[in-house]
Each structure stands twice: as structure tokens, then as C-alpha cells.
Structure 1
Amino acid sequence: MLQTTEFALLRRVAAEQAEGRAPSLVAAVVRGGDVLWTGARGQVDGAAPTADTQYRIGSITKTFVAVLVMRLRDEGRLDLNDELDKHMPGTSFGHLTIAQLLSHTGGLTSESPGVWWERAPGGDWPDLVDRMDEDVLKHRAGARFHYSNPGYGVLGQLVAELRGASWLEVLNTEILAPLGMARTTPMPAAPHALGWAVHPYADVLLPEPTPDAGAMAPAGQLWSTATDMARWLRFIAGDSGTVLHPDTVEEMRAPVVVEDGGAWTGGYGLGLQTWRDSGRRLAGHGGSMPGFLANVVVDPTTTTGALAMTNSTAGVGVSALSMDLLKLVDDYEPALPGEWRPLTEVSLDLLALTGQWFWGPMPFVLRLMAGGWVELRPVSGAGRGSRFRPTGDGEWLGLDGYYAGETLKLHHHADGTVSHLDLATFVFTRTPYDPKAPVPGGVDDRGWRPGD
């Protein structure tokens, strides 16, 4: 990167470390498949931390658990609308759906009953579920966003039961190994930072415990490095390799619920936090455990992302820092638009479908995309529009916008010529209200005419 950009990034990191009194702080910026920059301040074992120094990432662990659940969904092993009872009967909250647990909308308590779980060795699943009686339901299911750490303990157990192995074994096999994230582990492996609490009124430290959280581990157990978290940022942006289809990652990024009411600057999807900032839609997650803070955030549109990790319990704004690093890179060195390239192959039948179509009198444009995908949007640019992926036999599945999940179908006349498009019962014709197409309610035989 340009020296001016690198200096601006380092200065922001240095200011945060000094003002937040962080024992150590490491940060990185990514774009596309590259780590553009890494920076660090403070010391770990008498030296500056590196991109290979492990920190505990806390609730960023939840994003991995969510991916494991979505893999099960994509395989048909579960449905997000399934109630928990279908797969794990016998709990006091079995009526909650898997989607509600993923998005923190089930109303489940924020913390596990008993002692402060983040600082105490955790028990096994039978111990956790025995303590989760009817009192753990704090809100009506689906009524509101209520962050729940135990909810992800439940999801980790769900993965274990459906896979027949611990969630950590499944994590290693299905995510970490395929993505080459060998330095993401459940317990620290050298070189790693020690977790500290910094006294609020004196520059002295107190070591924090880092026990195994047991059944609550899926809520915040993992340790990782800047290098591995940079790879995870690329995953969240859609570079998901063989682990998950990019469409599923996009589904996870879509906000299910808004956290901050009418302002809508922050929300939560299916295991991912979402933000709106300066016209951008961002995704990622924060993490907090005694002795550690971490945050990852990425703009899927530009694939520019940033991360920050520190070994301090409080006082270091890793979320604001990572957001600022992302902004600095976009301001100093904005991502270039991708090069336009012509399609390498095209179906002439699909090419013939491009151009104007009419929903009643309203003109739309159908565009052909790579892979046989199509895009249907109003000519005006405002209104209902979506991209569609081909599913075969003249049908496409809506991927986004108003028609996400709906089916677009191509219909023909008896002589084989194109008659119309059917989109969720709406009829699109080549001319406004084509009388030769089966327009519901019919088309007046007198056709278009001047007004009275």
C-alpha cells in the first residue's frame, strides 16, 4: 500500500493502543484474496505481537458454529424453521426454531444460569440443559432481539448430535482444515497473548483466567491469529471455498432483526452481525472474553475488511478501530471497479429473452448474466427487482430483493414461441397487457384507446 495509507493505519492503531491502554494490539486490513496491511503495538512476551500471535476471539466463535448449522441446512439435515424439539427433544425451550437461535430472536436468556460462565470451568451438556429451566425464557419467541450466549451452546450441541462428533471435531474437519486455518484452536497454542485486566485508575495489570467453557464453548471459546481471521473475513465476504455456497453466506449476512430500532445502524443475521455505515452494508462479528477483545468487519461489495484483537478486558475500542481502518483504506485507496469482460458463452435462446418486458403497463428490463442467471428490474430503476439463478426447464430462483425465493417461469404458446413470464403469479409480457397472453382478468377486446 502507499506509505501515506500505511502511516494513517498505523497511527490509528497506535492511538487506540495508547489511549485504551492495551497491553498489546494487532490489526489487519484485507481486500479480495490479499492481506493488504498488518500492524501492531504493545508487547507479548517482550516483543511486538505478529500476525501469528494468538488472541482469544470470544463471540466470533459463534460465526463458525452458525456456518456448521448452515451446512446441515444445505445438506437437508434440518430446516431453519424446525423447532429444536424435532432434533433435540426434552428441553424447556424446544419450541424455539433454529433460525431464532441463530439470530438471537428466541427470547432465551443472555447468560447461562449459575456462575459467571466466562470465568469458570464449564460443565457438560447435561449439566447445562438441567440448569436451563422455564426461567431462561425472557421474551416471547420472535418478539425482539435478545443476545443469547446459551443459545449458541445449544446450537453447538445440535451440530454434535446431528454429526455424531463434538462440535470442535466437526469444526476442524469441515471449516478450519479446508480453509487452512491451522492456528485457530479451542485452547491457546504458542505464540499467544496472555489475557489481562487493566486497572481503571492505575497502569497496572491483573491476569484473567481462560478456562475451558465446556458446553458453553460454542459461544466464545476459540483462539485465533490475524492471519487466520483475515481468511475468515474473506469467507464472510463470500470467498467461501468448498465450505459453503456463496449464496448461503449472503443469506447469513442478510439482517433478520435490527438491534437499535429506527436508527438501523446495527442488526443481526444468521450468525453474523450486520451494520450500515456511510451507505455501506457491512458484516462481521465482535468478540469479548475476560482478558480479550476482538472484532472483524468486511464490506462484501468491495471485499475490503479489517480486524483488530487485543488482550485487555475492557477500554479498547476494537469495533470502532476496525471500522475506522476499513474507512481509511477506502478513503486513501478505494477499490477499483472490476474489469468488464464479455460473456465467454451464451445461449441464443436466453439472449432472445433480454430487453423489455411489461408488468401491466410498467416496463421492466431483463438482462442476461454469466452462468445463465438473469436480472429483472424496472426501467426506472426504482421498485421491485431481483437477480435469478437458473434451476432448469425454463425456471429461475430469485436470489435477492423483493422476489428472493420466488420462481420465475418462462411460458410458450402452442407453436413454441414465447408467451410470457410468470413471476409469483405476476404475468410479464413483451407488450403492455398483451391480449395473446393469459393476463388474469383478461384484456379488454377494444384494446388501448383515447380517454373520454
Structure 2
Amino acid sequence: MTLPPEELLPTTRRALLHRLAVGQADGRTPSLVGAVVRGGRLVWADGRSMIDGHSPDADVQYRIGSITKTFVAVQVMRLRDEGALDLADPLDRHLPGTGAGALTIAQLLGHTSGLASETPGPWWERTPGTLRPRLADVLDEPPVRHPAGRRFHYSNPGFALLGALVSQLRGQPWGDVLHSEVLAPLGLARTTPLPRAPHAGGFAVHPWADVMLPEPLEDTGVMAPAGQLWSTAADLSRWAAFLAGGAENVLRASTLAEMRRPASEPDDDEVDESDDWSAGYGLGLQLRRHDGRLLHGHTGSMPGFLAALWVSERDDVAAVVLANATSGPPVGQIAADLIRIVTEHEPRIPEPWRPLPAADPELLALTGLWHWGPSPHLLHLRADRGLELIPQGQTGGGSRFRAEADGTWTGLNGYYAGERLRVIRAADGTARHLDIGSFVFTRTPYDPNADIPGGLAPDGWHTY
């Protein structure tokens, strides 16, 4: 039987429910909701609860904490794409008088500003925002803990500043701008700054006894952009689908891809012996490696609540997990496990190979073996006249190139990202060599008929 693309197999659904049930029981949380998105659609959602016969569904609101930051980041990138700001702009250019105006917008988005992690006391997450009526109240003295641009240091006040930046440039409160420009266009009707029924209550669970304590549900005021929002598993599934593919009326996919690139080097404790990294941060998005796949999204916590949203671009699968406990269930791990379960039980079926719709003889003649000095590379012709250059027998990945109208190609990734590939032709029109940012690629190693930088020894290749 051929299943519709949005359907999961019964064995997959049971494995997902089992992981959710183990997470709720072992994590000792009053309730736990999970959801999976595949192909941009919600394909599974379920919940587990301490109350017999009652499980929260995908329409119950939970506080999502720092997942709020992903919404703020999208707002800022919208302003960038419109030309209202540049990520290299100092904050003072658009929002003067904060006391942190020399920091750039990119540094705030990527948590490389060096700002303190938290506000001055009392703890902002458990106290009313009226205790911090002014934006200046969210910054400690001195506000900066590290030199700007030097290292990753997570900062909640930094995103309060970004929310204020959005308000300043739009001339409206941050939450109103979020609703009109992001939430409403994407149909996120159950994502709100304050809770709306049905919603979960937040609890602290005693670490050594099976008893609970209600947590206060405060309006955090000017700190709202750091973690105020409430949402549902269904709404966050739509948000995950957007983060994976974009939406032209909100933010294009290429900008979201830019947000997924690491904004800074990982801390030393995130680097293993192979110089790989397990966790990082882009522009408002967390990055994590899990089971050999790269995930992007965000986790979140507020007193009484935990949340996680991860997207695996490679697998076209995303997962959301929400809990109403201050601590306990490892929601980030559970969400990553939900993605793993789907990809292991039902691996993505690749699109069938198809030949190019047309073959340009001039481009076909470019394909095959080229050499940068003595290093061999293979040049492949891809769709839309694109090229891909892949090193042979060496470390390092290849680079893809986009065809331009002027007959050159622009690098899209890897070492040659942004660099121009030009074909240098002989008098008879044949390709003599390739020039990529001054690197010369020839058909044979150090071809004497090509213009090799530095020239060649007159006696050529020989033994000693």
C-alpha cells in the first residue's frame, strides 16, 4: 500500500510515543507534548500527562522561553533585507542611549557582543517587568563581560535590546510588530505574549520528592523579546517548517540559510580532538550536531516550562517538545531523538535522478579533470548551468558555483564562496585555464601553456 506523504508508519508512531512517554516519566514533568514535521507538514503529535486519561494536545499553550529569540531574529533580518539597517551597524545608529551602543547588531544576534548573560537582580524571569520599566534597567554596570566580537557569551539582555530596536524602527511595540509581520502571515494564531486558554500551568518539581510547586507566570516587560512568548506544538510545527524553507511574505529561504551559519567559533569545551564542534550559534539560531546530523532551531526555558525545536535540513524533518516543569526532562535531547526515530524508521527517499533538460557543448567541454598546481580536481556540470569543483584524493569538500549572466560563475560555499570563476580561453576559443580568485586551474599539472603565477622552472618536470 502506498501511503500519502504526510503519513507515518504505525511502528514509527509507536516509537515516537514511547520516547515521549519515557521522557515524561523519567523527567518527572506534569506533562510533555511532542510533534514531528516532515515535508513541511505536521505528521505526528501526542502528549503524556500525570493525569490518567488526559493528555495535552498540540493546541495547548506552553511558555517557550528562548525560542522567542528566533522570532526576534527573523524580525531583525526582515529589517536588514529591507535596507533599514546593516548587521555591521552599531546599535547607537538606530537605538541611541542604551549604554551598549558601540555593539553591532550582528554581535547581539550571535551572542558575541560580550554583554552580561542576565540583568541586574532580582531574577527577571520570576519577577514582574514593572521592576525594570526602562531599557537601561536590563543592563548591569559595567554591561560588557568580554571584548566584543571575541567569543560566544549568551546574553538575554542583548535580545531585549534587539526587540527595542525593532520597536524603534517600526514605531510600534515589539509584540504588535511581531503579530502583524510574522505571526499573522504564517497563521500562528496560538502564539501570543501572554497565555490564552487552554494553556498549561508551570511547576517546579522537587528534586528529591514527588511533589510540585507552582511557578509564578510573570509578564517580563522590556525583557519580553528574550523569552516571553507562549505557543503550541501545532504553531511551533508551522514555525519549524518556516525556518526550514522560508516564506516570501515573511523572510526568504536564503536569509534563513544565512542565519544558520555559525556566527562565532565554539568555546574550547565544544571542540573535540578532530577540531569538530558539537554546538554553536548562528544569527538567532542554535546549532547542534546529533547522531551525525546538523540541527538548527532553539531550546527555551522559563520558570515552570521547557521547550525545544530542532530542524534537520538534510532529512526534511523537524521536532518540537514542550514541558511544564522548570527542570527535569531533557527536551532538547528528546526533540533530537524524535528526528532520529523518524529518519531511522523511514529514511528520506531521494528524488529520482534525471538528466539535464539540455546540454550545452561549450559547458560539457569544461567538465572533467583540472589541476590547481599538482592537485587534481573534477569539474561537474549541474542544473541551471551551475558548476561544482571537487578535489580528488584530498581533504576538504568541493565548491558549488552559480552561473552569472556575464559568463562567469560565483562560488556558493566552501573556500570559494563569493569568489568568481572565469574561463580563460585561447585564441581558438578553447578553454586554456580556469581562474578562481587568482588561482589558476589547468588541464595538466602546471600546464606550461597556461599563465602560471610565478612561472615554471625551464627544465620542467624531471627526477633528481
For residue 238 of structure 1, the aligned residue among 227, 236, 245 is 245
Amino acid in the other structure paired with 1:15: V
Q: 1:316/1:182 Cα in 2 relative to 1: closer, same or farther (>3 Å)?
A: same
For residue 88 of structure 1, the aligned residue among 95, 113, 119 is 95
**SS at the partner of 1:422?**
strand
**SS at the partner of 1:65?**
helix
For residue 261 of structure 1, the aligned residue among 245, 251, 270 is 270
Deviation readout 1:292-312 (Å, 9 max, x if unpaired) = 110011211111222110111
Name 1:166's counterpart in structure 2: 173
Using the alignment, how far apart are the partners of 1:153 and 1:11 within structure 2? 38
Under a length normalisation based on structure 2, what TM-score does the superposition of the two structures give? Answer: 0.88
Matches within 5 A, 1:108-257: 108-123=115-130, 127-130=134-137, 132=139, 134-255=141-262, 256-257=264-265
CA deviation after TM superposition for structure 1 residue 28, in Å? 1.1
- For structure 2, the 5+ residue unaligned runs are 1-7
- 1:425 matches 2:438: yes
Larger mean Cα displacement after TM superposition, 376-385 or 211-220: 376-385
Q: 1:3/1:426 Cα in 2 relative to 1: closer, same or farther (>3 Å)?
A: same
Deviation readout 1:236-286 (Å, 9 max, x if unpaired) = 333545433323222222223324332332111111111122322111110
Using the alignment, how far apart are the partners of 1:238 and 1:35 within structure 2? 14
Q: 1:267/1:33 Cα in 2 relative to 1: closer, same or farther (>3 Å)?
A: same
CA deviation after TM superposition for structure 1 residue 186, in Å? 1.4
CA deviation after TM superposition for structure 1 residue 427, in Å? 1.8
Using the alignment, how far apart are the partners of 1:88 and 1:340 within structure 2? 52
For residue 315 of structure 2, the aligned residue among 281, 286, 302 is 302
Name 1:406's counterpart in structure 2: 419
Q: 1:387/1:166 Cα in 2 relative to 1: closer, same or farther (>3 Å)?
A: farther
Identity of aligned residues (%): 57
**SS at the partner of 1:15?**
helix
Q: 1:142/1:211 Cα in 2 relative to 1: closer, same or farther (>3 Å)?
A: same
Matches within 5 A, 1:38-53: 38-42=45-49, 47-53=54-60
Name 1:450's counterpart in structure 2: 462
Name 2:12's counterpart in structure 1: 5
Using the alignment, how far apart are the partners of 1:45 and 1:186 within structure 2? 30
CA deviation after TM superposition for structure 1 residue 62, in Å? 0.5
Matches within 5 A, 1:255-334: 255=262, 256-259=264-267, 260-263=269-272, 264-334=277-347
Deviation readout 1:135-177 (Å, 9 max, x if unpaired) = 1211122232211000011111122222333332332233223
Asked if structure 1 preserves the Cα contact closer than 8 Å seen for 2:163 and 2:225, the reply is: yes
Using the alignment, how far apart are the partners of 1:93 and 1:293 within structure 2? 30
Asked if structure 2 preserves the Cα contact closer than 8 Å seen for 1:306 and 1:325, the reply is: yes
Deviation readout 1:77-115 (Å, 9 max, x if unpaired) = 333222222322333222222221111111101112232
**SS at the partner of 1:427?**
strand
For residue 396 of structure 2, the aligned residue among 383, 386, 405 is 383
Using the alignment, how far apart are the partners of 1:75 and 1:443 within structure 2? 50
Deviation readout 1:20-45 (Å, 9 max, x if unpaired) = 22111110122222323211111689
Deviation readout 1:205-245 (Å, 9 max, x if unpaired) = 33222222221111111111111111222233335454333
Using the alignment, how far apart are the partners of 1:174 and 1:120 within structure 2? 29
Q: 1:160/1:416 Cα in 2 relative to 1: closer, same or farther (>3 Å)?
A: farther
Deviation readout 1:340-390 (Å, 9 max, x if unpaired) = 233345655444433333222322222222333322221336335212233
Amino acid in the other structure paired with 2:462: P
Using the alignment, how far apart are the partners of 2:413 and 2:59 within structure 1? 38
Using the alignment, how far apart are the partners of 1:347 and 1:157 within structure 2? 53
Q: 1:133/1:57 Cα in 2 relative to 1: closer, same or farther (>3 Å)?
A: closer
Using the alignment, how far apart are the partners of 1:444 and 1:154 within structure 2? 60
Larger mean Cα displacement after TM superposition, 166-175 or 313-322: 166-175
Asked if structure 2 preserves the Cα contact closer than 8 Å seen for 1:367 and 1:376, the reply is: yes
CA deviation after TM superposition for structure 1 residue 75, in Å? 3.0
Using the alignment, how far apart are the partners of 1:120 and 1:213 within structure 2? 7
Using the alignment, how far apart are the partners of 1:7 and 1:384 within structure 2? 39
Using the alignment, how far apart are the partners of 1:379 and 1:288 within structure 2? 46
Over aligned residues, Cα RMSD in angstroms? 2.6
Counting matched residue pairs gives 451
CA deviation after TM superposition for structure 1 residue 433, in Å? 3.1
Amino acid in the other structure paired with 2:400: R
**SS at the partner of 1:136?**
coil
Under a length normalisation based on structure 1, what TM-score does the superposition of the two structures give? Answer: 0.91
Using the alignment, how far apart are the partners of 2:34 and 2:251 within structure 1? 26
Name 1:105's counterpart in structure 2: 112
Larger mean Cα displacement after TM superposition, 27-36 or 340-349: 340-349
Asked if structure 2 preserves the Cα contact closer than 8 Å seen for 1:93 and 1:134, the reply is: no
